[in-house]
Amino acid sequence: MRCEVAMELRPDETKLIGHWIDKDGKILADYTCHRIESLIKETLTQLMHDGSENHTLYQDPRDRRYWELSYPERTIQSQGPPTLQCISSDVIKSKYKINVRA
């Protein structure tokens, strides 16, 4: 059974952190993981992927904020749960080496 997830980011949101849950010996993605997946597939626009660190830059077409998808708990065996964080144009300029509007 698939649960419905919120498709839009609220103006007060700046960071979504997914977690994995151990349920009866199975590792499952939590609601936030599913929400991040839905946002990057159906709402946000992908702008650039940084293959060296496995970060992906997105933009919300509604409010023009920039979001970075990362996997901070990444291990050799697994990608880890996702984190989606709002980032500033200054960070984008220094990290992705592109100019964006603030």
Q: What does each of the 102 residues of the chain score in pLDDT, given as a tens digit?
A: 455 666 789 999 999 999 999 999 998 999 999 999 999 999 999 999 876 668 999 999 999 999 999 998 766 556 789 999 999 999 898 888 888 766
Burial string for 63-95 (b: 16+ CB within 10 Å, else e) reads eebbbbbbbeeeeeeeeebbbbbbbeeeebeee
pTM: 0.85
